[in-house]
Amino acid sequence: MREDRNCDYTQELVKNGVIAFVPSGNSMWPTLKNRGQSVIVKLKTEKLKPMDVALYRRENGSNVLHRVMRATDFGYVMCGDSQFTLEKVKEDCVYGVMAGFYRGKRYVEATDPDYIEQINKWYESEKRRKLRVKTFFFFNRLKTLPARALRKIFGRKRKDEGEINDD
């Protein structure tokens, strides 16, 4: 899940040791839904383990929240829960680790045994995971079809339409 490039989470984490934010994007579905949960991230103080969710900064400046697949000599291999492409990330680019998130009003800790079991089940069969991800995105795309068709037919309204220009 990507976060705003302009936000400097590093400074906030160093200052406070913990931050909370609402991530956007579908790369961590089904664990985290697009703009659906508040996530609590604490400052990374030790080497991360496989299945930890890390907050890191890409070379383009975007902040990303993805799962650690494995630790290596150079850093980590990361992947979003609904993705299948692995990404190599240097150790010094990773600065936070998810401590937990809110699912509705209920707080789920990253160390919760039920959560860990759910994640392990999600990753135990890649074929089943791919099928669920493809089905989710197919129906998600189907659900937005009418709105996309209307935008294509009528075009997008610009914010400055209807404004009087005094130039």
Each residue's pLDDT tens digit in the chain (167 positions)?
555 555 678 888 989 999 999 999 989 988 998 888 899 999 999 999 999 999 999 988 889 999 999 999 999 999 999 999 999 999 999 999 999 999 889 999 999 999 999 999 988 888 888 888 888 778 878 888 888 888 888 876 555 544 444 44
- Can you name the residues that pair with 152 across neighbouring β-strands? none
Q: Whose CA is closest to 15, among 101, 93, 108, 96?
A: 96
pTM attached to this predicted model: 0.78
CA distances from 82 to 18, 89, 99 (A): 26, 18, 20
Give the whole-angstrom CA distance, residue 76 versus residue 1.
Answer: 17
Answer yes or no: are the C-beta atoms of 56 and 63 closer than 8 Å.
yes
Helix ranges restricted to H, 57-162: 113-124, 126-143, 145-154
pLDDT at position 145 is 86
Distance (Å, whole) CA 19 – CA 65: 13
Q: What is the pLDDT of residue 130?
A: 86
